[in-house]
Every structure is written in C-alpha cells, then in structure tokens.
Amino acid sequence: MLTAIQQMYDFDAWAMGRLLSDLRLLKPEEYAGVEASGHGTIRDTMAHLLSVQWCWFSWFSGSQKPEEAMQLRIAPEQVSTLEQAASRWVAVREQTERTIKGLSQEAVVVEWPINVPGVTVSALPLWKLLLHVANHGTHTRAQLIAAIRRCGHAPQGEDLIHLLLGR
C-alpha cells in the first residue's frame, strides 16, 4: 500500500507541474474571470485545490491538530497571479513530500479519528485519507483543465498513464 501511495503523490506533483504549465496559456483575465466547475473562477478553484492539500497535510504531518488544520485556507487573493499560485504550490508540495517520505507501511494502516457531522465512521486508516486527498486533487485538476479548454487552449495530457509511459 505504501508504494501505491508514494506513486500517487509522485503523480500529484507531476500533474500539478503540468497544470501550472497549462495555466500559463491563459491571459490574466481568463485566470481571474473564467468559471471553473464548483469553486468559482479558475483562480478561485486553484486556491481551493491548494487549500485542501495544505490543510490535510498539515494534519498528517503533525504540524496542526485536525480541527486547526481543517480551518486553513488560501484565499483567492493570495493566488491572484499564476506566480503566486506556483509559489504556494512549492510550499504545499514540499510539505506533502516530507510527509509521504516519512511514512512507513505500519503508519499507513493506523486508524485516524474522523469527526465529520452526519457521518457515523469515527476513524479511517491513513492510507484511505491519503487516497481521498489524492483523488480530490485529480478531480479538481480535471475541472481546471476543462476550464482551460473552454478558453480555447489545448492543455497537455495529464492522465496517470502519460506519466507511467514516460510521455
């Protein structure tokens, strides 16, 4: 399981690098003004994507208690330019990589307490939480790629198979 988690986050870093490259195709007014599914503009959705990974990994790394980590947010104004978003991503990526590198096979099966209103599950193994965050990143990147296409640009292939085949 640990190897699969490590590979998912290698993919996450690779796909984010390609997404950031694809975002460079946009004019500033497209980045700030074109809607992406679910979270407002492309800029707003980028802030959401970065916030989610930052807050979860702040908990996983032990730097924040869960209730504090889940309150962390990157405001859209903090990523108002692509350069700001790329800079934020570097910090999130470094935090993610440190956390993933510090994991062991034993650590990923440890149950982590979950307190979600309306949900009866009270704990999940860390590997399931890590997969949730990776899956969220893939889903949100797809929303951003669709928005880039709606602007008339042709983003690169960012599917996992492209990484696995060395494309």
The residues with which 41 forms a beta bridge, in sequence order, are 35
Q: Using one digit for the tens of pLDDT, what is the confidence trace for 94-149?
A: 999 999 999 999 999 999 988 766 666 689 999 999 999 999 999 999 999 999 99
In the three-class reduction of DSSP (H, G, I as helix; E, B as strand; rest coil), residue 86 is classed as helix
Q: Using one digit for the tens of pLDDT, what is the confidence trace for 84-94?
A: 999 999 999 99
Q: Which residue range(s) make up the domain with 148?
A: 2-164
> How many domains, in total, are found in the chain?
1
pTM, to two decimals: 0.93
CA nearest to 158, candidates 146, 54, 133:
146
90 neighbors 102 (Cβ within 8 angstroms): no
Distance between CA atoms of 10 and 75, rounded to whole angstroms? Answer: 26
CATH number at residue 120: 1.20.120.450
pLDDT-derived band at 158, boundaries 50, 70, 90: confident
- State percent of the chain over pLDDT 90: 80
